[in-house]
Structure 1
Amino acid sequence: MTETQRSALSVCFSLAIILFALFVTQHFVLPLLWAAILCIATWPLYRRALSLTGKREILSAALVTILAATVFITPLALGLAQAARQAPALAQLVASANTEGLAAPEWLHRIPLVGDAIYNWWLATLGQPHGLAHLLEDGSVGRMQSASEVLKRVGSGVMHRLVDIAFAFLCLFFFYKDGRALQDQTDAIGSHLIGARRWTLYSLKVPTAVRATVNGLVLVGLAEGVLLGIGYQFAGVPSAVLWAAATGVLAIIPFGAPLAFGAVAALLVYQGNTAAAAAIFALGMVVLFVADHFVRPTIIGNATKLPFLAVLLGILGGVETLGLIGLFVGPVVMTLFVTLWHEEKQFRRAVPE
């Protein structure tokens, strides 16, 4: 057997092992990715904890994991508790809307230009029995004939997500504890495959892109939720805390916040509080404009040296292709692409001979 044939077989053997490992762990890939993203984003915090605990890796990993879980789970628990209180009534509404149809509100007629068209569309779709199932084109919706069935299906989905979250934080602990060894092994493999000089250039970009994306998307989105939540409270929105949590989650996705504060404004209009609805919508547009046009591009673009268009394409393209995890993977991919585009200049500047 020639050396070329031996090398080809070695590559095939390695690829087979990698593919089989991915096949075996396919249901855990998403929690692993979330844990990896959170680990990279909070790695400086873990290093600070190491220095405070005298280099005790297990203690430091446990402390930072508990802190991260507390920061993440506390608002989630508050939102779930609020949702649980509203769940029976909401489930009954969904079941009734699906089986009997949902009556079109009369205020739709008052919307300028398109009010009559929206009212007629509502009557033809949501106003008909099982119209909700036909609109969503989902067989599971059609089987939601009662409030108990709605709660059962929604509860099953929530429990599945909670298990994924728990597994992600378990993985996060081990990523902290064994992070240095994982980084050394990754550097060794990357340097072997594409060369130490080139690997160093690219590997320096990934943590920066992840941290900038977390700061620019998650923190800014949660800040939008807090600001608009205060407005909801003053406007007298029912379940203002739950709506604020939903706004914060949707605001993580660029241009997602209008779905939340638009729904709140529509709810206020439905209740006859037009002035409060207009105020909430105006506040939402101001917060959205400042966040998406000034704060986010500055945080992400300045840290990753990406133009605004590349940041936007990475975020939106990542969400379209990979779902929520694409929010963070997309900007990393665009950062690596721009690095490749300017590779020779980056070599001379970032990795001197």
Structure 2
Amino acid sequence: MKENQRDALSACFSLALVLATLFVTQRFLLPLLWAAILCIATWPLYRRMVSVTGGREVIAALLATVVAALVFVTPLALGVAQAAHQAPALAQFIASANTDGLAPPDWVARIPFAGAEIQEWWLATLGQPHGLAHLLHGSSVAHLQSASEVLKRTGAGLLHRLIDVGFAILCLFFFYKDGNALQRQVNAIGAHLIGEVRWTLYALKVPVAVRATVNGLVLVGLAEGVLLGIGYQLAGVPSAVLWAAATGVLAIIPFGAPLAFGAVALLLLAKGATVAAIAIAAWGAVILFVADHAVRPAMIGNATKLPFLAVLIGILGGVETLGLIGLFVGPVVMTLFVTLWHEERHLRHPLS
């Protein structure tokens, strides 16, 4: 057998083995990817724990995992707890709205310019029996005929997500513990495939992009949820903690926070609390302006050296194609693309 034929067969064997591994482990790829993102984002925390524990890597990995879980999982746990407390009433409301129809609130007709049209649309869709199912055609809403069915379906989906979260935290511990060996192996494979100099150029960009994205999206989003949650509490919003948790999650996505505090303002307006509704809308607008126009561009763009437009396209495009995980994958892809665009300059002037 000729040398080039042997190389081709070897490449085919390697590719087949990689594809088989991906096929076998496809159920766990998403938690593994979440664990990898968290590990890269919090790797400096692990290195600090190694120093504090006197080089005991297993103990340091355990401590870093606990801290990361507390920071990222605690808000989720609080939101789930609040949602579980409100679940029976909410389930009954959804089932009744789907089965009997949902009458439009009185304030809909008072919306300037389009109130009559919105009310007419509401009566023709949501106001009809099973109108919610027709509006969300193809979703599981069509099968939600009772509160118990709503709780069963929601609980099953929630349990599935909690298992993913638990597995991701478990993987995070092992990524910390074996991270150095894994990094050496990945660097060896990358250098073998595209050359050591080129691989080093790209490999240095990924951790910076991931950490900047996590800091700029997750931490800023959670901070928005906390600040707006304080406003909800002062304004007397029902289930303020649940709304704050929902706001924090939506605020991770660009332009997601207005959906949350806008809904809260409409809720207050429907209850007749006009001043509180205006205050929440104004407070949310101020926080959103500062976060999206000052904090996030500085944290992400300055660290990755990406234009704000490239950051925005990476985030929104990642969400559109990959879902929530695309929030972090998108900016990394854009960072690598910009690195490719300027590759010649980077290779000629490594410090630029």
The TM-score by the shorter chain falls in which range? over 0.9
Partner of 2:42: helix, strand, or coil?
helix
Do the aligned residues in 2 keep the contact of 1:98 with 1:132 (CA within 8 Å)?
A: yes
In 1: Cα distance, 2:227 partner to 2:138 partner: 35
- Mark the runs of 5 or more structure 1 residues left unpaired by the alignment: none
In 2: Cα distance, 1:256 partner to 1:262 partner: 10
Deviation of the 1:139 alpha carbon: 4.5
Do the aligned residues in 2 keep the contact of 1:315 with 1:330 (CA within 8 Å)?
A: yes
Aligned pairs (5 A) from 1:26-41: 26-41=26-41
Which residue matches 1:65? 65
Which residue matches 2:86? 86
Aligned pairs (5 A) from 1:166-185: 166-185=166-185
The answer to which of 204-213 and 74-83 deviates more is: 74-83
In 2: Cα distance, 1:139 partner to 1:229 partner: 31
Do the aligned residues in 2 keep the contact of 1:301 with 1:307 (CA within 8 Å)?
A: yes
Which residue matches 1:107? 107
In 1: Cα distance, 2:290 partner to 2:70 partner: 29
Partner of 1:350: helix, strand, or coil?
coil
In 2: Cα distance, 1:188 partner to 1:95 partner: 56
Question: Counterpart amino acid of 1:230?
Answer: I
- Residue 277 of structure 1 pairs with residue 277 of structure 2: yes
Do the aligned residues in 2 keep the contact of 1:225 with 1:244 (CA within 8 Å)?
A: yes
Question: Counterpart amino acid of 1:328?
Answer: F
The answer to which of 299-308 and 269-278 deviates more is: 269-278
Aligned pairs (5 A) from 1:96-175: 96-175=96-175
Which residue matches 1:323? 323
Do the aligned residues in 2 keep the contact of 1:265 with 1:281 (CA within 8 Å)?
A: yes
Which residue matches 1:254? 254
1:47/1:139 CA distance change after superposition, 3 Å: closer
The share of aligned pairs that are identical, in percent, is 76
Which residue matches 1:214? 214
Moved over 4 A (4+): none
- Residue 266 of structure 1 pairs with residue 303 of structure 2: no
Q: Deviations over 1:189-226 (max 9, x none)?
A: 00000000000000000000000000000011011111
In 1: Cα distance, 2:221 partner to 2:351 partner: 35
The answer to which of 163-172 and 102-111 deviates more is: 102-111
In 1: Cα distance, 2:52 partner to 2:148 partner: 51
Aligned pairs (5 A) from 1:326-337: 326-337=326-337
In 1: Cα distance, 2:184 partner to 2:285 partner: 46
In 1: Cα distance, 2:217 partner to 2:124 partner: 39
In 2: Cα distance, 1:173 partner to 1:351 partner: 34
Aligned pairs (5 A) from 1:179-194: 179-194=179-194
Question: Counterpart amino acid of 2:241?
Answer: V
Deviation of the 1:150 alpha carbon: 0.4
TM-score by length of 1: 0.98
The answer to which of 159-168 and 139-148 deviates more is: 139-148
Deviation of the 1:73 alpha carbon: 2.5
- Residue 308 of structure 1 pairs with residue 308 of structure 2: yes
In 2: Cα distance, 1:74 partner to 1:324 partner: 18
TM-score by length of 2: 0.98
In 2: Cα distance, 1:351 partner to 1:196 partner: 17
Deviation of the 1:158 alpha carbon: 0.5
In 1: Cα distance, 2:73 partner to 2:325 partner: 18
Number of residue pairs the alignment of both structures matches: 352
Deviation of the 1:351 alpha carbon: 6.7
Do the aligned residues in 2 keep the contact of 1:223 with 1:248 (CA within 8 Å)?
A: yes
- Mark the runs of 5 or more structure 2 residues left unpaired by the alignment: none
Q: Deviations over 1:228-287 (max 9, x none)?
A: 111111111001111001000000000000110011011111111112111111111111
Q: Deviations over 1:28-60 (max 9, x none)?
A: 000000000000000001001111111111111
The answer to which of 301-310 and 75-84 deviates more is: 75-84
How large is the RMSD of aligned CA atoms in angstroms?
1.0
Which residue matches 1:43? 43
In 2: Cα distance, 1:136 partner to 1:262 partner: 22
In 2: Cα distance, 1:343 partner to 1:200 partner: 12
Question: Counterpart amino acid of 1:187?
Answer: N
Do the aligned residues in 2 keep the contact of 1:101 with 1:126 (CA within 8 Å)?
A: yes
Question: Counterpart amino acid of 2:239?
Answer: S
Question: Counterpart amino acid of 1:146?
Answer: S
